[in-house]
Amino acid sequence: MKKILFAAAFFVLFAANVYCDALHSHEEIDSAALVYVDTANKFVAAENYSEALANFDKAVKISSGSSDLYVVRAYVKAILEDYGGALADYDHAIKLNKKNAGAYANRAAIKYMAQDYKGAAQDSEKAIKYDPYIAAAYLTRGNSKIYTGKAKSAIKDFNKALKLDPFNANIYFSRGYAQELSGHAERAIDDYLASVDLDPDFTEAYENCESVIKKLKKNGLEKKYDKAENYAFKAAKSYLTRAGIRYKMNNYDGALNDLKKLAELNPEDYKIYRYIAVIEYNMGNFAASVESFTKAVNLNPDNPQLLFCRAIAKNKINDHEGAKKDLDKVIKMQPGNGKAYLVRGLAKEGLKDYKSARRDLNKAASLGINFGYANINEIPFFVD
Protein backbone atom coordinates (compact mmCIF):
# COMPACT_ATOMS: atom_id res chain seq x y z
CA MET A 1 0.00 0.00 0.00
CA LYS A 2 1.28 3.43 -0.86
CA LYS A 3 2.13 5.54 2.11
CA ILE A 4 0.97 9.04 2.90
CA LEU A 5 3.81 10.97 4.40
CA PHE A 6 3.41 12.41 7.85
CA ALA A 7 4.70 15.64 6.31
CA ALA A 8 5.83 16.95 9.69
CA ALA A 9 2.64 18.86 10.29
CA PHE A 10 3.83 20.37 13.52
CA PHE A 11 7.06 21.46 11.88
CA VAL A 12 5.01 23.15 9.16
CA LEU A 13 3.05 24.93 11.82
CA PHE A 14 5.82 26.07 14.11
CA ALA A 15 9.00 25.98 12.05
CA ALA A 16 9.96 29.63 11.84
CA ASN A 17 7.79 31.73 14.10
CA VAL A 18 6.87 29.40 16.93
CA TYR A 19 9.22 30.93 19.45
CA CYS A 20 8.39 34.50 18.48
CA ASP A 21 4.72 33.62 18.85
CA ALA A 22 5.40 32.39 22.36
CA LEU A 23 7.39 35.47 23.27
CA HIS A 24 4.71 37.83 21.99
CA SER A 25 1.80 35.79 23.27
CA HIS A 26 -1.05 37.33 25.20
CA GLU A 27 0.02 35.08 28.06
CA GLU A 28 2.18 36.51 30.76
CA ILE A 29 5.59 34.85 30.95
CA ASP A 30 7.93 35.65 33.79
CA SER A 31 10.94 37.71 32.68
CA ALA A 32 13.30 35.11 34.15
CA ALA A 33 11.62 32.45 32.02
CA LEU A 34 12.05 34.62 28.93
CA VAL A 35 15.80 34.54 29.44
CA TYR A 36 15.74 30.76 29.14
CA VAL A 37 13.38 30.94 26.15
CA ASP A 38 15.81 33.26 24.39
CA THR A 39 18.69 30.88 25.09
CA ALA A 40 16.61 27.93 23.90
CA ASN A 41 15.86 29.75 20.64
CA LYS A 42 19.58 30.15 20.00
CA PHE A 43 20.15 26.43 20.55
CA VAL A 44 17.27 25.60 18.19
CA ALA A 45 18.82 27.84 15.54
CA ALA A 46 22.06 25.87 16.00
CA GLU A 47 20.09 22.59 15.87
CA ASN A 48 21.27 21.70 19.37
CA TYR A 49 17.88 20.46 20.49
CA SER A 50 19.02 18.75 23.68
CA GLU A 51 20.29 22.05 25.09
CA ALA A 52 17.20 23.81 23.78
CA LEU A 53 15.02 21.35 25.68
CA ALA A 54 17.03 21.86 28.87
CA ASN A 55 16.40 25.60 28.68
CA PHE A 56 12.71 25.17 27.91
CA ASP A 57 12.46 22.88 30.94
CA LYS A 58 13.79 25.74 33.08
CA ALA A 59 11.41 28.24 31.48
CA VAL A 60 8.39 25.97 32.06
CA LYS A 61 9.43 25.46 35.68
CA ILE A 62 9.37 29.21 36.25
CA SER A 63 6.20 29.95 34.24
CA SER A 64 4.26 26.72 34.57
CA GLY A 65 0.98 28.45 33.74
CA SER A 66 1.97 29.34 30.17
CA SER A 67 0.21 27.20 27.61
CA ASP A 68 2.48 28.37 24.80
CA LEU A 69 5.63 27.36 26.66
CA TYR A 70 4.38 23.79 26.80
CA VAL A 71 3.67 23.96 23.06
CA VAL A 72 7.17 25.08 22.13
CA ARG A 73 8.75 22.55 24.47
CA ALA A 74 6.61 19.83 22.90
CA TYR A 75 7.86 20.94 19.49
CA VAL A 76 11.47 20.32 20.56
CA LYS A 77 10.56 16.99 22.16
CA ALA A 78 8.99 15.89 18.91
CA ILE A 79 12.18 16.74 17.01
CA LEU A 80 14.05 14.58 19.52
CA GLU A 81 11.45 11.84 18.82
CA ASP A 82 10.12 11.93 22.36
CA TYR A 83 6.57 11.71 21.07
CA GLY A 84 5.14 10.59 24.39
CA GLY A 85 6.65 13.61 26.11
CA ALA A 86 5.45 15.91 23.35
CA LEU A 87 1.94 14.51 23.59
CA ALA A 88 1.91 15.07 27.34
CA ASP A 89 2.99 18.68 26.86
CA TYR A 90 0.28 19.30 24.27
CA ASP A 91 -2.28 17.78 26.64
CA HIS A 92 -1.14 20.15 29.38
CA ALA A 93 -1.11 23.13 27.04
CA ILE A 94 -4.74 22.42 26.11
CA LYS A 95 -5.64 21.98 29.76
CA LEU A 96 -4.28 25.47 30.43
CA ASN A 97 -5.88 26.98 27.32
CA LYS A 98 -8.72 25.06 25.72
CA LYS A 99 -8.60 27.35 22.67
CA ASN A 100 -4.91 26.90 21.85
CA ALA A 101 -5.25 26.04 18.16
CA GLY A 102 -1.56 25.35 17.73
CA ALA A 103 -1.58 22.76 20.49
CA TYR A 104 -4.54 20.97 18.88
CA ALA A 105 -2.94 21.03 15.43
CA ASN A 106 0.36 19.68 16.65
CA ARG A 107 -1.24 17.07 18.87
CA ALA A 108 -3.26 15.98 15.83
CA ALA A 109 -0.03 15.45 13.93
CA ILE A 110 1.39 13.21 16.62
CA LYS A 111 -1.83 11.22 16.85
CA TYR A 112 -1.69 10.79 13.08
CA MET A 113 1.84 9.41 13.40
CA ALA A 114 0.56 6.97 16.00
CA GLN A 115 -2.16 5.90 13.50
CA ASP A 116 -4.88 7.32 15.74
CA TYR A 117 -6.66 8.76 12.71
CA LYS A 118 -9.92 9.42 14.50
CA GLY A 119 -8.15 11.33 17.26
CA ALA A 120 -6.06 13.22 14.71
CA ALA A 121 -9.16 14.27 12.80
CA GLN A 122 -10.89 15.43 15.98
CA ASP A 123 -7.93 17.52 17.11
CA SER A 124 -7.57 18.98 13.61
CA GLU A 125 -11.21 20.04 13.68
CA LYS A 126 -10.70 21.82 17.01
CA ALA A 127 -7.60 23.56 15.67
CA ILE A 128 -9.59 24.74 12.65
CA LYS A 129 -12.45 25.86 14.89
CA TYR A 130 -10.18 28.14 16.93
CA ASP A 131 -7.94 29.21 14.03
CA PRO A 132 -9.17 28.47 10.48
CA TYR A 133 -5.89 29.64 8.94
CA ILE A 134 -3.63 26.75 9.96
CA ALA A 135 -2.79 24.83 6.76
CA ALA A 136 -1.24 21.96 8.70
CA ALA A 137 -4.55 21.26 10.43
CA TYR A 138 -6.32 20.76 7.09
CA LEU A 139 -3.42 18.60 5.88
CA THR A 140 -3.55 16.30 8.90
CA ARG A 141 -7.34 16.06 8.79
CA GLY A 142 -7.21 15.24 5.08
CA ASN A 143 -4.57 12.56 5.56
CA SER A 144 -6.61 11.06 8.38
CA LYS A 145 -9.66 10.94 6.14
CA ILE A 146 -7.73 9.00 3.52
CA TYR A 147 -6.98 6.30 6.04
CA THR A 148 -10.63 6.13 7.10
CA GLY A 149 -11.89 5.70 3.54
CA LYS A 150 -12.93 9.29 2.87
CA ALA A 151 -10.63 10.24 0.01
CA LYS A 152 -13.11 12.53 -1.76
CA SER A 153 -13.73 14.50 1.41
CA ALA A 154 -9.98 14.64 2.00
CA ILE A 155 -9.52 16.45 -1.33
CA LYS A 156 -11.59 19.34 0.02
CA ASP A 157 -9.28 19.62 3.03
CA PHE A 158 -6.19 19.61 0.80
CA ASN A 159 -7.73 22.32 -1.38
CA LYS A 160 -8.16 24.50 1.70
CA ALA A 161 -4.64 23.73 2.87
CA LEU A 162 -3.21 24.74 -0.50
CA LYS A 163 -5.01 28.07 -0.41
CA LEU A 164 -3.20 28.78 2.85
CA ASP A 165 0.13 27.21 1.89
CA PRO A 166 0.34 27.01 -1.94
CA PHE A 167 4.02 26.01 -2.08
CA ASN A 168 3.88 22.92 0.12
CA ALA A 169 4.98 19.78 -1.74
CA ASN A 170 3.50 17.49 0.92
CA ILE A 171 0.01 18.88 0.44
CA TYR A 172 0.16 18.34 -3.32
CA PHE A 173 1.41 14.79 -2.73
CA SER A 174 -1.43 13.97 -0.34
CA ARG A 175 -4.01 15.47 -2.66
CA GLY A 176 -2.51 13.49 -5.52
CA TYR A 177 -2.97 10.27 -3.60
CA ALA A 178 -6.54 11.21 -2.72
CA GLN A 179 -7.20 11.96 -6.39
CA GLU A 180 -5.74 8.60 -7.34
CA LEU A 181 -7.96 6.78 -4.84
CA SER A 182 -10.96 8.72 -6.16
CA GLY A 183 -10.30 7.56 -9.73
CA HIS A 184 -8.92 10.85 -11.08
CA ALA A 185 -5.68 9.60 -12.61
CA GLU A 186 -4.76 12.71 -14.58
CA ARG A 187 -5.37 14.99 -11.61
CA ALA A 188 -3.28 12.68 -9.44
CA ILE A 189 -0.38 12.87 -11.89
CA ASP A 190 -0.67 16.66 -11.97
CA ASP A 191 -0.40 16.84 -8.18
CA TYR A 192 2.49 14.40 -7.99
CA LEU A 193 4.37 16.45 -10.57
CA ALA A 194 3.62 19.62 -8.61
CA SER A 195 5.23 17.95 -5.60
CA VAL A 196 8.32 17.18 -7.66
CA ASP A 197 8.52 20.73 -8.98
CA LEU A 198 8.53 22.05 -5.43
CA ASP A 199 10.81 19.34 -4.05
CA PRO A 200 13.06 17.61 -6.62
CA ASP A 201 14.03 14.98 -4.03
CA PHE A 202 10.45 13.86 -3.41
CA THR A 203 11.05 10.21 -4.36
CA GLU A 204 7.58 9.00 -3.38
CA ALA A 205 5.99 11.52 -5.74
CA TYR A 206 8.02 10.18 -8.67
CA GLU A 207 7.14 6.60 -7.79
CA ASN A 208 3.42 7.28 -7.39
CA CYS A 209 3.32 9.20 -10.67
CA GLU A 210 5.01 6.30 -12.45
CA SER A 211 2.62 3.83 -10.87
CA VAL A 212 -0.47 5.71 -12.07
CA ILE A 213 0.82 5.92 -15.64
CA LYS A 214 1.73 2.22 -15.77
CA LYS A 215 -1.64 1.25 -14.29
CA LEU A 216 -3.50 3.18 -16.99
CA LYS A 217 -1.60 1.35 -19.70
CA LYS A 218 -1.93 -2.06 -18.04
CA ASN A 219 -5.70 -1.67 -17.69
CA GLY A 220 -6.03 -0.91 -21.37
CA LEU A 221 -7.40 2.56 -20.84
CA GLU A 222 -5.95 3.75 -24.12
CA LYS A 223 -7.55 7.18 -24.27
CA LYS A 224 -6.51 7.98 -20.75
CA TYR A 225 -3.07 6.55 -21.33
CA ASP A 226 -2.53 8.63 -24.46
CA LYS A 227 -3.29 11.69 -22.40
CA ALA A 228 -1.14 10.43 -19.55
CA GLU A 229 1.87 10.12 -21.85
CA ASN A 230 2.06 13.90 -21.82
CA TYR A 231 2.37 13.74 -18.06
CA ALA A 232 5.00 11.04 -18.41
CA PHE A 233 7.05 13.52 -20.42
CA LYS A 234 6.70 16.08 -17.63
CA ALA A 235 7.76 13.46 -15.11
CA ALA A 236 10.73 12.61 -17.29
CA LYS A 237 11.84 16.24 -17.31
CA SER A 238 11.66 16.26 -13.52
CA TYR A 239 13.80 13.11 -13.30
CA LEU A 240 16.33 14.66 -15.65
CA THR A 241 16.45 17.87 -13.63
CA ARG A 242 17.14 16.01 -10.43
CA ALA A 243 19.67 13.72 -12.12
CA GLY A 244 21.54 16.77 -13.38
CA ILE A 245 21.62 18.31 -9.91
CA ARG A 246 22.88 15.08 -8.37
CA TYR A 247 25.49 14.69 -11.10
CA LYS A 248 26.84 18.17 -10.43
CA MET A 249 27.04 17.30 -6.72
CA ASN A 250 28.98 14.09 -7.58
CA ASN A 251 26.09 11.97 -6.29
CA TYR A 252 26.51 9.54 -9.16
CA ASP A 253 24.47 6.71 -7.62
CA GLY A 254 21.48 9.00 -7.12
CA ALA A 255 21.80 10.40 -10.63
CA LEU A 256 21.96 6.89 -12.10
CA ASN A 257 18.83 5.82 -10.23
CA ASP A 258 16.92 8.80 -11.63
CA LEU A 259 18.18 8.20 -15.15
CA LYS A 260 17.27 4.51 -15.09
CA LYS A 261 13.73 5.43 -14.07
CA LEU A 262 13.75 8.00 -16.83
CA ALA A 263 14.82 5.32 -19.32
CA GLU A 264 11.79 3.24 -18.33
CA LEU A 265 9.50 6.14 -19.16
CA ASN A 266 11.34 7.06 -22.38
CA PRO A 267 13.11 3.94 -23.68
CA GLU A 268 13.60 5.43 -27.16
CA ASP A 269 15.46 8.55 -26.03
CA TYR A 270 19.15 7.99 -26.85
CA LYS A 271 20.26 10.97 -24.73
CA ILE A 272 19.23 9.18 -21.53
CA TYR A 273 21.60 6.29 -22.24
CA ARG A 274 24.31 8.79 -23.09
CA TYR A 275 23.89 10.46 -19.69
CA ILE A 276 23.99 7.07 -17.99
CA ALA A 277 27.14 6.13 -19.89
CA VAL A 278 28.94 9.35 -18.92
CA ILE A 279 28.17 8.76 -15.24
CA GLU A 280 29.25 5.12 -15.41
CA TYR A 281 32.49 6.26 -17.02
CA ASN A 282 33.10 8.77 -14.23
CA MET A 283 32.47 6.02 -11.69
CA GLY A 284 35.15 3.89 -13.34
CA ASN A 285 32.67 1.31 -14.61
CA PHE A 286 33.99 1.40 -18.15
CA ALA A 287 32.45 -1.85 -19.42
CA ALA A 288 28.99 -0.69 -18.34
CA SER A 289 29.68 2.67 -19.93
CA VAL A 290 30.42 1.00 -23.26
CA GLU A 291 27.16 -0.94 -23.03
CA SER A 292 25.16 2.21 -22.31
CA PHE A 293 26.84 4.12 -25.12
CA THR A 294 26.00 1.20 -27.39
CA LYS A 295 22.32 1.50 -26.48
CA ALA A 296 22.48 5.18 -27.37
CA VAL A 297 24.30 4.46 -30.64
CA ASN A 298 21.73 1.84 -31.61
CA LEU A 299 19.03 4.51 -31.28
CA ASN A 300 21.06 7.19 -33.07
CA PRO A 301 23.76 5.46 -35.17
CA ASP A 302 24.88 8.54 -37.08
CA ASN A 303 25.66 10.68 -34.06
CA PRO A 304 29.44 11.36 -34.09
CA GLN A 305 29.49 12.47 -30.47
CA LEU A 306 28.12 9.14 -29.27
CA LEU A 307 30.67 7.22 -31.33
CA PHE A 308 33.46 9.45 -30.03
CA CYS A 309 32.45 8.92 -26.40
CA ARG A 310 32.08 5.17 -26.87
CA ALA A 311 35.54 5.04 -28.39
CA ILE A 312 37.05 6.66 -25.30
CA ALA A 313 35.28 4.12 -23.08
CA LYS A 314 36.41 1.26 -25.34
CA ASN A 315 40.02 2.40 -25.02
CA LYS A 316 39.61 2.09 -21.24
CA ILE A 317 38.73 -1.60 -21.53
CA ASN A 318 41.50 -2.15 -24.10
CA ASP A 319 39.08 -2.63 -26.96
CA HIS A 320 41.35 -0.53 -29.14
CA GLU A 321 40.13 -2.08 -32.35
CA GLY A 322 36.53 -1.21 -31.48
CA ALA A 323 37.60 2.32 -30.56
CA LYS A 324 39.44 2.72 -33.87
CA LYS A 325 36.37 1.62 -35.85
CA ASP A 326 34.16 4.12 -34.01
CA LEU A 327 36.64 6.91 -34.62
CA ASP A 328 37.01 6.03 -38.30
CA LYS A 329 33.29 6.78 -38.60
CA VAL A 330 33.60 10.00 -36.61
CA ILE A 331 36.44 11.31 -38.78
CA LYS A 332 34.54 10.39 -41.93
CA MET A 333 31.62 12.50 -40.68
CA GLN A 334 33.77 15.23 -39.12
CA PRO A 335 37.16 15.39 -40.87
CA GLY A 336 38.14 18.46 -38.85
CA ASN A 337 37.55 16.85 -35.45
CA GLY A 338 40.97 17.07 -33.83
CA LYS A 339 39.80 15.22 -30.71
CA ALA A 340 38.83 12.24 -32.81
CA TYR A 341 42.31 12.10 -34.37
CA LEU A 342 43.88 12.30 -30.91
CA VAL A 343 41.81 9.47 -29.44
CA ARG A 344 42.24 7.34 -32.56
CA GLY A 345 45.99 7.89 -32.25
CA LEU A 346 45.83 6.56 -28.69
CA ALA A 347 43.80 3.56 -29.88
CA LYS A 348 46.41 2.81 -32.55
CA GLU A 349 49.15 3.00 -29.93
CA GLY A 350 47.21 0.36 -28.02
CA LEU A 351 47.24 -1.73 -31.19
CA LYS A 352 51.02 -1.10 -31.49
CA ASP A 353 50.50 0.63 -34.83
CA TYR A 354 52.88 3.39 -33.79
CA LYS A 355 53.59 4.87 -37.21
CA SER A 356 49.92 5.40 -38.00
CA ALA A 357 49.31 6.57 -34.42
CA ARG A 358 51.96 9.27 -34.84
CA ARG A 359 50.25 10.54 -38.01
CA ASP A 360 46.93 10.86 -36.11
CA LEU A 361 48.56 12.61 -33.16
CA ASN A 362 50.34 15.04 -35.48
CA LYS A 363 47.06 15.70 -37.29
CA ALA A 364 45.37 16.37 -33.93
CA ALA A 365 48.14 18.80 -33.00
CA SER A 366 47.76 20.60 -36.34
CA LEU A 367 44.11 21.10 -35.42
CA GLY A 368 45.08 22.56 -32.04
CA ILE A 369 44.32 19.45 -29.97
CA ASN A 370 46.73 17.95 -27.45
CA PHE A 371 46.64 15.12 -24.92
CA GLY A 372 44.65 17.17 -22.41
CA TYR A 373 41.53 16.69 -24.50
CA ALA A 374 41.57 12.89 -24.35
CA ASN A 375 39.10 12.78 -21.49
CA ILE A 376 35.39 12.15 -21.61
CA ASN A 377 34.88 14.53 -18.69
CA GLU A 378 35.56 17.40 -21.06
CA ILE A 379 32.18 16.70 -22.68
CA PRO A 380 29.31 18.42 -20.82
CA PHE A 381 26.64 16.25 -19.23
CA PHE A 382 23.69 18.01 -20.91
CA VAL A 383 24.49 17.98 -24.64
CA ASP A 384 22.11 16.93 -27.42
Segment 314-370, tens digit of pLDDT = 999 999 999 999 999 999 999 988 889 999 999 999 999 999 999 998 888 888 776
CA distance to 350, 375, 379, per residue, from 308 (Å): 17, 11, 10
What gap in Å lies between CA 95 and CA 103, rounded to an integer?
10
Average pLDDT over residues 238-252: 75
Residue 230 belongs to some domain of the structure? yes
Residue 170 belongs to some domain of the structure? no
Identify which has the larger pLDDT, 354 or 219. Answer: 354
Average pLDDT over residues 283-288: 92
Query: Residue 321 is part of which domain span?
Result: 282-384
Collect all residues with Cβ–Cβ distance below 8 Å to 285 and sequence separation of at least 6.
none
Could you tell me if residue 168 is left (phi over 0), alpha (psi between -120 and 50 degrees) or otherwise beta?
beta
Indicate whether 372 pLDDT > 60: no
Q: Quick one: pLDDT at residue 236?
A: 64
Q: Quick one: pLDDT at residue 384?
A: 40
Three-class DSSP category at 255? helix
Residue 273 belongs to some domain of the structure? no
Indicate whether 152 and 244 sit together in one domain.
no
Q: For 59-83, what is each residue's pLDDT tens digit?
A: 999 999 989 899 989 989 988 989 9
Indicate whether 93 pLDDT > 70: yes
CATH label of the domain that carries residue 82: 1.25.40.10
Residue 85 belongs to some domain of the structure? yes
Share of the chain above pLDDT 70, in %: 82
Indicate whether 100 and 42 sit together in one domain.
yes
Is residue 27 very low, low, confident or very high in pLDDT (cuts 50, 70, 90)? Answer: low
Residue 368 belongs to some domain of the structure? yes
Last residue of a domain, one of 104, 136, 165: 165
Last residue of a domain, one of 240, 267, 294: 267
Q: What is the DSSP string of 44-85?
A: HHTT-HHHHHHHHHHHHHH-TT-HHHHHHHHHHHHHTT-HHH
Indicate whether 122 and 43 sit together in one domain.
yes
Q: Quick one: pLDDT at residue 233?
A: 59
What gap in Å lies between CA 345 and CA 226, rounded to an integer?
49
Indicate whether 288 and 188 sit together in one domain.
no
Decide if 313 contacts 286 (C-beta within 8 A). yes
Indicate whether 105 and 229 sit together in one domain.
no
The pLDDT mean for the chain works out to 83
What gap in Å lies between CA 134 and CA 103, rounded to an integer?
11
Q: For 98-134, what is each residue's pLDDT tens digit?
A: 999 989 999 999 999 889 999 999 999 999 999 998 9
Indicate whether 157 and 187 sit together in one domain.
no
Q: For 191-205, what is each residue's pLDDT tens digit?
A: 888 887 777 778 788
Residue 175 belongs to some domain of the structure? no
Share of the chain above pLDDT 90, in %: 49
What gap in Å lies between CA 123 and CA 28, rounded to an integer?
25
Indicate whether 286 and 373 sit together in one domain.
yes
The total number of residues written for the chain in this structure? 384
Q: Quick one: pLDDT at residue 381?
A: 47
Is residue 21 very low, low, confident or very high in pLDDT (cuts 50, 70, 90)? Answer: very low
Residue 251 belongs to some domain of the structure? yes
Indicate whether 311 pLDDT > 60: yes
What gap in Å lies between CA 52 and CA 82, rounded to an integer?
14
Tally of domains in the chain: 3
Indicate whether 99 and 158 sit together in one domain.
yes
CA distance to 54, 285, 295, 301, per residue, from 344 (Å): 68, 21, 22, 19
Indicate whether 181 pLDDT > 80: yes
Q: Quick one: pLDDT at residue 47?
A: 86
Indicate whether 64 and 110 sit together in one domain.
yes
Indicate whether 51 pLDDT > 90: yes
Indicate whether 197 and 103 sit together in one domain.
no
Average pLDDT over residues 222-240: 60
| Residue-wise burial string across 118-127, b where 16 or more C-beta atoms lie within 10 A, e elsewhere | ebbbbbbebb
Asked which of 231-245, 284-298, 326-340 is least confident by mean pLDDT, the reply is 231-245
Last residue of a domain, one of 108, 134, 165: 165
Q: Quick one: pLDDT at residue 10?
A: 37
Q: Quick one: pLDDT at residue 296?
A: 94
What gap in Å lies between CA 3 and CA 159, rounded to an integer?
20
Indicate whether 127 and 258 sit together in one domain.
no
Indicate whether 15 and 150 sit together in one domain.
yes
Residue 37 belongs to some domain of the structure? yes
Q: For 135-179, what is each residue's pLDDT tens digit?
A: 999 999 999 999 999 999 999 999 999 998 888 889 999 999 999
